[in-house]
Structure 1
Amino acid sequence: MTDYVQATLLRIFIGESDEFEGRPLHEAIVLEAREQGLAGATVLRGPMGYGRSSRLHTAKILRLSEDLPIVIEIVDAEARIKGFLERLAPMLGSALVTLENVRVVRYGHDAGLD
């Protein structure tokens, strides 16, 4: 079996039109993650989805295509993710936030997270 390191996957579900202090929210979150020295962040744009309001967001309907679903994924050590979440609290508004235990098999040239 391959060696691995335990880590935490943070997923933040927001809308493409969500903002924080005049900047797209996904951009503000990724820049904060970088500033905090987290292992990395990825922003995924979904072609379709809905949230708590049940309002459908899809690229197929032109008038709704401005607010497509966005998922931000960040993996790092559990303590670092928890600290990061505390810093993000003022930004998140109606976002859905999930945490998941993951096993990191490879991170760049080494198998661990700092």
Structure 2
Amino acid sequence: MQRYLGIRKELKIYISNEDTVDGKPLFEALLTLAKEKGIAGATVLKAVAGMGAHSEIHSFNVWVLKQKVPLIITMIDTEENIKVFLDAAGDMIEEGLVTISDTEVLHYHHPKFGKA
């Protein structure tokens, strides 16, 4: 079954796997903050390769143990919840790109697992 939830905001935060805040990986700190602020859901995606503002290409190499690769943290929620999250996250992100866009949301679930 599907249920149309309407227009929501999609937040994407582009950072590096090497970015930290208070000695902790930035992506983990942002996920923890998202949970604390009640964000409906968040996903961290690890890129195979990417190029940013410094025009430097970062890519995954199986032979290199420690390497800098791009991460994308994506969240979908109401505009109000996204704004609350960003207000709290502002000081955590030292460098990166943040995008916000409108997105239509459909929620799928199987009836045997109960109401969504």
- What RMSD in Å do the two structures reach over aligned CA positions? 2.0
What are the residue-to-residue correspondences of 1:33-112 with 2, within 5 Å? 33-60=34-61, 66-106=67-107, 109-110=115-116
Q: TM-score, normalised by structure 2?
A: 0.85
Q: Secondary structure of the residue that 2:90 maps to in structure 1? A: helix
Cα deviation, residue 60, structure 1: 3.1
| CA distance in 2 between partners of 1:76 and 1:43 (Å) | 15
Q: Select the structure that is richer in helix.
A: 1
- Whether 1:6 aligns to 2:10 is no
1:13 and 1:52 map into 2 onto residues whose CA distance is: 11
Q: Say if 2:4 and 2:107, in contact at 8 Å, map to a contact too.
A: no
Alignment-derived partner of residue 20 in structure 2: 19
State the SS of the aligned residue for 2:88: helix
Tell me which stretches of 4 or more aligned residues in structure 1 moved more than 2 Å. Answer: 60-65, 107-110
Structure 2: which 5+ residue stretches go unaligned? 110-114
* Structure 1: gaps of 5 or more residues: none
Deviations for 1:32-75, whole angstroms, at most 9, x for unmatched residues? 00111110110000010011011110013855961100000010
**TM-score relative to the length of structure 1:** 0.87
Q: Contact 1:57–1:64 at 8 Å: present in 2 too?
A: no
**Structure 1 residue aligned with 2:112:** none
Q: What is the aligned-residue identity percentage?
A: 34
Alpha-carbon distance in structure 2 between the residues aligned to 1:58 and 1:45: 11
Quick one: distance in 1 between partners of 2:97 and 2:65?
20
- Larger-gyration structure (1/2): 2
Q: What secondary structure is seen at the aligned counterpart in 2 of 1:84? A: helix
